[in-house]
Structure 1
């Protein structure tokens, strides 16, 4: 069964996701990130400028299939086609289709009212499906 975690109270959501992806990449995990086209474009840009010392190899839906397959980090609005990834990170408002084929799903929840409201809806969906959810309150963690 997929392990589902909610990381909430993310004040700088994109920076947090970049750090999370850096950590996953260092552990040789293959990660898919799903969300709106706007959020994924912003993340793509953030990954290029995130750190002068780290390169986080990633692909988007605009890349060729070969590039996407070779990429350890994939950004795409539709995760249903992905095979062989370990972790799914959700930046979207909805429950991602096909999340159950991943070992782990991480829901990133910002501090705004809309983000909290949609996260509550996803939380209810997962618990209704019988998932035990883990929660990480990022406001209680010291910044890196």
Structure 2
């Protein structure tokens, strides 16, 4: 079973995910990011512009093979079986299918009431599947 980290109280989903991906890439890891197509489109755009001195190599799942091979971040609505399975970041409303084999799963939950309610549902579903759950309250982290 995978260890799943819930990052609660993210002030903004896309900008927090950009910072999280910068940390992941800085550790030499590759990440798949799953979520709704509109969220992934916003993230794709933000990854080009979020920091003037940083560039995170990323692509969509439909990218040509050479681009897939050289990217550290893959954006897809569902996990891609044939790509790296080091880190999965879930930005979606539901528990994604195909979690098997990931070393680390991060589920990001914003301060939005609807997003929190969906996060609680995912927490219960992950727990019922037997996953180890860790909670990271981002509001406590910022104030510390």
Q: Tell me the TM-score normalized by structure 2.
A: 0.93
Structure 2 residue aligned with 1:9: 9
Task: Give unmatched runs, 5+ long, in structure 2.
Answer: none
Structure 2 residue aligned with 1:46: 46
* Secondary structure, counterpart of 1:101 in structure 2: coil
Of 99-108 and 134-143, the range deviating more from structure 2: 134-143
Report if the CA contact (8 A) 2:57-2:70 is conserved.
Answer: no
* Secondary structure, counterpart of 1:141 in structure 2: helix
User: Equivalences for 1:1-144 in 2 at 5 Å?
Assistant: 1-142=1-142
Task: Give unmatched runs, 5+ long, in structure 1.
Answer: none
Report if the CA contact (8 A) 1:80-1:97 is conserved.
Answer: no
CA positional deviation for 1:113: 1.4
The 1-side partners of 2:8 and 2:64 are apart by 33
Of 21-30 and 75-84, the range deviating more from structure 2: 75-84
* Secondary structure, counterpart of 2:142 in structure 1: coil
Report if the CA contact (8 A) 2:59-2:73 is conserved.
Answer: yes
Report if the CA contact (8 A) 2:2-2:105 is conserved.
Answer: yes
